[in-house]
Structure 1
Amino acid sequence: MASTAELVTESVPDLASKKKDEKTFWRMSFKEKLAYVREVITVEPLITAYILASYICLPALKTLELEKACRVNLGFNDTVCEAIITSNHENYTVHNDEVLIRISTMQTWQIPVQSVMPLILILFLGSYSDRHKLRKPFLLLPIIGEFFAVVACILCVVFMDTWPLEAQGVSQTVIPSLFGGQAMIVMAVFAYVADVSTIEMRTLRMGVIQITLNVFSPIVQMFSGVLFQKIGYYGVLLIAAGFYAFALIYGIFCVKEPKQPVKTESTTGLLCDIFNPRHAIDTFSLILKKTAENNRTYIWLILVTIFVYNGVSSGELNLFFLYVQRQLHWTVVEFSYLVSVNTIVHLIGKYNEFLYNVGTVVAIPLFTKVMNLSDPIIIVITFADKILCNLIFSIAYTGSLMYVAVIVSLITGVSGVAIRSLGTKVVSVNDLGKAQSLFSIFEAIAPAVATPIYNKIIYEHTYNTFPPAFFVFGILLYALCCIMVMWMWINQKLEAKRTARATNGTNDKSIPMESYVQTTHM
């Protein structure tokens, strides 16, 4: 799509000729429509299948954690474990507390270990991807890892009474991390979209990917708990394996490299080329060296914002089910209903990894096209919304208030899109892969740092005194991010005015700011 500046420079005859020659979608032949759809739809089916598999597994894996901790690690009998799994634990509160603390302790080492390998891989593979213009392999590796993880979880069910909770922890998260995990596929997807989109269309394309996920996610979430009750562990895990298999096959045969891979003359082998320390240092050059194309201060601010956003999201996500299971006596089925409602609401407006959807559909075009808001302002608005949401969560002692908080957090899902979009606009085109690597590295580090803080320091120390303390901690961190992003926005405004004065002399009339200041429009 041409920008306004480009359009006004074209002559009227040129525009008329272009309009006459252009074929609208409805005037295309069926074959042309198929070709057009194939060109426009790229990684959306792959990432959708990847996320849906994760959603459908959620109730089963949460329940499996309870069972493993109760039956194997703590050795409680069937009566106690059944009461805990069904949340009828009024007479077994001490036993239930032991189970929840055991799960929380497992997560304390599980999440950091899960983050180490993606961190190492992304550090080197982002630079390799840029140098060789390769994106596709790094879309497929995480899917292979998740498929192996599902197989390992099936084995955990087979050996229900012998393999402990830690075996599930390794199967569920550590195995996928060896293939890059979610951090790598996020890096690859956004780098791929950046390659196939103009800078004017990136926010919209990234939003379209999120919307695609959120159209299908609530359907799976709504029935995942009931489906688990009907078909059990094996049925749910096999369906998830089917989703991953589809994503892998689609990625192999339908996703094309956005650019022709670059062949380089190298005297070293493949592994030496990939894991060359020089390339890792090259990735960090974005934040270590100041260049004309890249604003180092803004990159640092975005990295801190990404770190806080993902750290808070991960910390709250790990504790959310444990919190409602103890405070509200919810089962995984009731929890899946909240997740479903949340996803539907945010399709009109993401709690942690869940709360995104009606908000994303409406908010992205509203903020970018109608209100013409810049990415920093969008981030501040959505973070303020999340602060209000957490306030309600912290005082919600009934299920109804939990749903009210979900409705209030209507637009929080736009945060991730706006942060990523802003991140693509503060670096040059040639450094997009490095930037995405840095963003993904900080996304991977955040859970490793946040989980021990949330689980061991906050949750276990406030377990009996003030259980919602972790929500308040998130409020403080989001407020800090709002201050940083507002400083960035104000500084961008001042830079634009200085540029205007330098260009126009004493004329103080503002001119359009650099591309990284602008928000993408539809």
Structure 2
Amino acid sequence: MVESASISQLYERLKAMEWHALFHMFYLEPVVFVLIFSHVLSGTVMRNQIIYQTCTVSFQYNVSDCEQLDDKNAGPNIHAIETEIQSYVAEMFLSRTLIESIIPAVCGLFIGSWSDKYGRKPLLVISMIGFAGSALITTIICALSGNYAINPWWYTLAALPHSLLGGMCVFSVAGMCFLSDITDIKTRPYRMVFLELLVFIGLSSGTFLSSYVYAATNAAITQGISASCLIAATIFIIIWMPESLHIRLAEDAKAEAEQAAGQCEDATIEKPAKTTTNDLNLDQSKKQTEPEPEPAVGLFSTTHLKDMFKTCLEPREYNAREIIWLVTLAMFMTIFVVDGVMTVMYLYVRQQFHWSVREFTFFETISQLVSMLGALIGFLLLRKVFGLSVVTLALLSLCSDVFSNLIRGFATLPWHMYLSIVFGVFRSIGGPMCSTIVSNIVPASDLGKIFSIKNVMQSFAPFVAAPLYTLIYQHSLAVCPGLFNFLNALLYLIAFIAIGCVLRFKLKHKQHYAKILK
């Protein structure tokens, strides 16, 4: 009886949930899924293709030897070739990372304030055109390499279109602002977690299908599929996605009008208002002194720069400014690790465990599936059943990252890498929880500027992360290739301490943050 009552109660709760509000303006999530899926579908394949072309074109080894580079049963001479080529390829990956970061970092200084005035959709369209253009150029280069000896450095130059048009920095700022515009404090955490789940579905499905598509076709066709997906997503945004900024502004204006009307009604009930000549003169003087609409300014106007820094540095009540910067620091540390690991992880597993493309993509698929399961358990079970706050869940995520990377640092056998996945089960809930913290304590009119400064810091991260991780990997390649994992653990520990300080401020102002950071 008790079990049936609890099931019926759960059914009634799900039935009463406002699903139309939860999935209102469901436009961004499919685009994010396609973007992530297309990147990972061809990412590992193209890294493998670059290694192969470096071996045959740049170093001019025999094709038969270069085809055995990912064979764990190959002889010592093949492993020596692999070690020699990896140092060169690491520099190539580093150069591409820097190209993808320079201009987006500069754009990030202006786009936040610009989007708060002129909208989110133009930035989404521009950034997606860049992604589609780079993918199309890479497809053409890869197709030509089947008949001609093309230097692999051309793949690095293919990153210019999406770099010049803002890259992931512009897309993420506009995307997070779009999501914040169409949600409220109640529905925002659900949409953040759901977006994160779609990201991991895109990652897991892309990595799982990558090796099979590559085995059934070739690198050029795999890259062509990715380019087609990005072109379709760009067309979807242009034709169907609406602008979200005016929706948010209209809702805010409506809420302010209702609040003002309620205050006027209360004032009328308490004491009837009497209109005097002085009141009329005062109203006329107010109308005359009302500020005129601000003139339109360009994207790279210094006005946007001033607005961004003013918004991010201005004092706020209840240590809100400190919380914003501490969360930004934690997210910066996370993206710093991601940018650094992205440069060397595939090289590391090839060197340490001699994994093939299929073995690496299988590992990545399992990693994403476990992370997705951790996000579901972490948010639905720990938050809904045990009532853990968004700050506590962020701490749990970072703690999970610390232990996961320590295990990877000590890994000597392939199963150790899978053990690190188990310890990192909650790592995926950190990003949504940190974004929720910021969006809940910042007004909608300032969200673009706040997310902009966060993404600027994240865009500058590769300038340090990529060279640092490449340097560490090159110098530890012969002794301890996984040394960079210990640096990961240290940076995640710093992020854990930063969120711990946020928890302290929350407890200090417990009454104010009871609902905001629930």
TM-score tier by shorter-chain length is 0.7 to 0.9
| Distance 1:495-1:265 versus aligned 2 partners, 3 A rule | closer
- Aligned twin of 2:398: 383
Q: What does the per-residue CA deviation read over 1:240-259, in whole Å, with 9 as the maximum and x for residues that have no partner?
A: 12211221122122211123
The residue identity in structure 1 corresponding to 2:89 is I
Q: Indicate whether 1:437 and 2:452 are aligned.
A: yes
Percentage identity across paired residues of the two chains: 22
2:473 paired residue among 449, 459, 473: 459
CA apart distance, 1:309 = 0.6
2:322 paired residue among 276, 297, 306: 297
TM-score after normalising by structure 1: 0.82
Q: Indicate whether 1:230 and 2:216 are aligned.
A: yes
Q: What does the per-residue CA deviation read over 1:487-518, in whole Å, with 9 as the maximum and x for residues that have no partner?
A: 2211321233xxxxxxxxxxxxxx352655x1
Distance (whole Å) between structure 2 residues aligned to residue 37 and residue 108 of structure 1: 41
| Distance 1:273-1:470 versus aligned 2 partners, 3 A rule | same
Matches within 5 A, 1:363-402: 363-402=378-417
Contact 1:190 1:206 in 2 (8 A): no
Matches within 5 A, 1:275-424: 275-292=300-317, 295-346=320-371, 357-424=372-439
Q: What does the per-residue CA deviation read over 1:181-230, in whole Å, with 9 as the maximum and x for residues that have no partner?
A: 12222211111110000022211111111112333542332121121011
The residue identity in structure 2 corresponding to 1:223 is L
1:169 paired residue among 156, 170, 187: 156
Contact 1:376 1:488 in 2 (8 A): yes
- Aligned twin of 1:354: none
Matches within 5 A, 1:97-246: 97-132=83-118, 134-160=119-145, 161-171=148-158, 173-246=159-232
CA apart distance, 1:447 = 2.0
1:71 paired residue among 56, 67, 71: 56
Distance (whole Å) between structure 2 residues aligned to residue 478 and residue 340 of structure 1: 23
Q: Indicate whether 1:51 and 2:36 are aligned.
A: yes
Contact 2:86 2:347 in 1 (8 A): yes
Q: What does the per-residue CA deviation read over 1:26-56, in whole Å, with 9 as the maximum and x for residues that have no partner?
A: 9xxxxxx9x9898452211111111111121
The residue identity in structure 2 corresponding to 1:149 is S
Distance (whole Å) between structure 2 residues aligned to residue 294 and residue 189 of structure 1: 27
Matches within 5 A, 1:482-493: 482-493=496-507
Distance (whole Å) between structure 2 residues aligned to residue 243 and residue 156 of structure 1: 18
CA apart distance, 1:397 = 1.8
Distance (whole Å) between structure 2 residues aligned to residue 369 and residue 446 of structure 1: 35
The residue identity in structure 2 corresponding to 1:446 is A
CA apart distance, 1:426 = 3.4
Contact 1:389 1:406 in 2 (8 A): yes
The residue identity in structure 1 corresponding to 2:495 is C
Distance (whole Å) between structure 2 residues aligned to residue 316 and residue 299 of structure 1: 26
| Distance 1:98-1:379 versus aligned 2 partners, 3 A rule | same
| Distance 1:374-1:177 versus aligned 2 partners, 3 A rule | same
The residue identity in structure 1 corresponding to 2:416 is L
TM-score after normalising by structure 2: 0.83
Distance (whole Å) between structure 1 residues aligned to residue 435 and residue 126 of structure 2: 22
SS of aligned partner of 1:275: coil
- Aligned twin of 2:262: none
Contact 1:62 1:332 in 2 (8 A): no
| Distance 1:412-1:25 versus aligned 2 partners, 3 A rule | closer
Distance (whole Å) between structure 1 residues aligned to residue 499 and residue 28 of structure 2: 30
SS of aligned partner of 1:199: coil
CA apart distance, 1:142 = 2.0
Contact 2:112 2:452 in 1 (8 A): yes
CA apart distance, 1:63 = 1.2
Q: Indicate whether 1:470 and 2:455 are aligned.
A: no
Contact 1:306 1:442 in 2 (8 A): no
Rg larger for: 2
CA apart distance, 1:410 = 0.8
| Distance 1:435-1:336 versus aligned 2 partners, 3 A rule | same
- Aligned twin of 1:513: 513
User: Structure 2: 5+ residue runs without aligned partners?
Assistant: 1-11, 250-291
CA apart distance, 1:292 = 4.2
| Distance 1:190-1:162 versus aligned 2 partners, 3 A rule | same
The residue identity in structure 2 corresponding to 1:141 is I
- Aligned twin of 1:350: none
| Distance 1:373-1:39 versus aligned 2 partners, 3 A rule | closer
User: Structure 1: 5+ residue runs without aligned partners?
Assistant: 1-18, 27-32, 347-356, 497-510
| Distance 1:402-1:412 versus aligned 2 partners, 3 A rule | same
Distance (whole Å) between structure 2 residues aligned to residue 155 and residue 294 of structure 1: 52
Length, aligned pairs only? 460
Contact 1:112 1:449 in 2 (8 A): no
| Distance 1:238-1:207 versus aligned 2 partners, 3 A rule | same
CA apart distance, 1:366 = 2.5
Distance (whole Å) between structure 1 residues aligned to residue 391 and residue 410 of structure 2: 29
Contact 2:34 2:230 in 1 (8 A): yes
Contact 2:319 2:505 in 1 (8 A): no
Distance (whole Å) between structure 1 residues aligned to residue 122 and residue 200 of structure 2: 25
| Distance 1:199-1:37 versus aligned 2 partners, 3 A rule | closer
SS of aligned partner of 2:513: coil
Bigger CA drift: 221-230 or 286-295? Answer: 286-295
Distance (whole Å) between structure 2 residues aligned to residue 439 and residue 36 of structure 1: 28
Distance (whole Å) between structure 2 residues aligned to residue 111 and residue 190 of structure 1: 23
Matches within 5 A, 1:9-28: none
